[in-house]
Chains A and B, each alone.
Chain A
Amino acid sequence: MRYLAEYRDADIAKTLIARIKARATRQWTLMEVCGGQTHTIVRQGLDELLVGAVEMIHGPGCPVCVTPLEQIDKALAIAARPGVIFTSFGDMLRVPGSDCDLQQVRARGGDVKVVYSPLDALALAQRNPDKEVVFFAVGFETTAPANAMAVWRARDLGVSNFSVLVSHVTVPPAITAILDAPDNRVQGFLAAGHVCAVMGWEEYEPIAAKYKVPIIVTGFEPVDILEGISMAVAQLEDGRHEVENQYVRSVRRQGTPPARALVAKVFELANRQWRGIGEIPMSGLRLRPEFAAYDAEQKFGVAGLTVSEPAACKAGDVLTGRIKPPQCLAFGTACTPERPLGAPMVSTEGACSAYYNLARYRTAESTEVTP
């Protein structure tokens, strides 16, 4: 068992880096899927410390970043309606839609509220029977159980003035899409520990076998990530391609079965647009037909809305690892965290914002974990 002091000890990180470098006979290309991992890697400069042994490509694992523009525009259209209370996680408020964001809708008189849990949105609907309360149900597998429960409860309790605008995405189809791309360079993945805490890792096993890539379920702190990288490099050097779990402490192979079960009762797999990437087959969740009464797209008639994304934003290339954020011409000029052009600049989990904040992190924390 490890202890906090040991975890934050730069010596362990140094040892792991030395082990990875000693083991690598060539430079391997790995992708971390989770935005929290991207944040740690960029902030601690792990990518730079591993040059020659490993190149890290930053994956699409930031739910705010991949929510497609058309879903944001639908949210804006619904939120602007009279009689609607539009509720959302705080991270979504500043994600730019085609002409504004949710914060601006609020400034213009729209009733937009931030909630911490979708159950808070449901409670709001119960307290305001004369209003329509809509919740923006976004996220990966980590938020799906919460959103599924809110819909399930609404039906159980007969709350008919509650609905959800669903924009759920799932990780395994995104990994498959990246591997299927003709110019794919990724040779191994760090899967997101928290997503696997819910879903387990059974779904990754056929992917590892079919594409012959190691997939390591990994935590999001520096030593976790280095350990995950070390396990991936060991597999690549040995010619193995298995699913391994670095993040053993809270993840079980089957995840959290009651959560998976309710998600499957409320949602079904559907094709889903990923911002900047395009449609990935069967990569999202939508409400099952029996829950149509809770589908905000149908309730407010916005299902048909489609839009095209701003050409200047290279989010798709960033999210699939074709370029690093500073290679986008808008980076730091037309696009900053204060005035984001694309979603990866909005969220702290987004790769563009992680790179933008890099200089600040490095100066403020040069005495900390950075080995």
Chain B
Amino acid sequence: MCLGIPGKIHSIRDDAGLTMGVVDFGGVRRDVCLQYVADEVAVGDYVIVHVGFAITRVDEEEAQRTFEILKEMSQLDELEWMADLVEKGKGAGETA
């Protein structure tokens, strides 16, 4: 929960006053709150995401490097079950 996962912003939208977006994590897409970085990001930028919230912007190179390292550290379990959910068509980011 503590290590952030880097991803690429795929789209940005306003959700009743909250800046939300879809972020792509190495192929797995998920809804992410972009409110805290709204002033400094655009579609295509990379952000570090903690528990569904973008906390800081990073450059692409750093994002990719961090992603590889997390994979190596097997710290991407969260993404794995997110991917599972997408496959099962539930997609909401929660599990029974």
A residues apposed to B, CB below 8 Å: 1-4, 7-8, 34-36, 39-40, 43, 61-64, 87, 89-91, 113-121, 123-124, 138-140, 142-143, 145-146, 149, 153, 156-157, 192, 194-195, 197-198, 220-221, 249-252, 256, 258-259, 262, 348-349, 368
- Chain B residues lying within 8 Å of A34, measured Cβ to Cβ, are 2
Closest 4 CB pairs of A and B: A117-B52, A259-B36, A146-B53, A197-B56
Chain A residue at minimal CB-CB distance from B78: A116
Contact of A119 among B3, B33, B50 (CB under 8 A): B33
Contact of B1 among A3, A4, A64, A119 (CB under 8 A): A64
| Among A1, A43, A220: residue with most chain B CB under 10 A | A220
In B1-30, the 8 Å CB interface with A consists of: 1-4, 16-18, 30
**Bound: A63/B38 CA distance, A:** 27
Is the CB–CB distance between A348 and B2 below 8 Å?
no
| A113 and B4 in contact, given A145-B36, A194-B50, A221-B69 (Cβ under 8 angstroms) | no
B 70-86 to A, binary, CB cutoff 8 A, 1 in contact else 0: 00111101100110000
Closest chain B CB from A158 CB (angstroms): 12
In B55-96, the 8 Å CB interface with A consists of: 55-59, 61-62, 64-65, 68-69, 72-75, 77-78, 81-82, 92-96
- Chain A residues lying within 8 Å of B53, measured Cβ to Cβ, are 117, 145-146, 149, 259
Is the CB–CB distance between A139 and B52 below 8 Å?
no
| A197 and B78 in contact, given A7-B65, A149-B53 (Cβ under 8 angstroms) | no
Known interface pairs A90-B81, A118-B52; 6 further A-B residue pairs with C-beta atoms within 8 A, sorted by A's residue number = A34-B2, A90-B77, A149-B35, A157-B16, A197-B55, A348-B75
Is the CB–CB distance between B56 and A250 below 8 Å?
yes
**Bound: A114/B84 CA distance, A:** 14
**Bound: A61/B61 CA distance, A:** 27
Is the CB–CB distance between A123 and B92 below 8 Å?
yes
- Chain B residues lying within 8 Å of A220, measured Cβ to Cβ, are 3, 69
Contact of A194 among B48, B62, B93 (CB under 8 A): B48
Is the CB–CB distance between B2 and A194 below 8 Å?
yes
**Bound: A362/B22 CA distance, A:** 37
Chain B residue at minimal CB-CB distance from A111: B96
B42 within 8 A of A: no
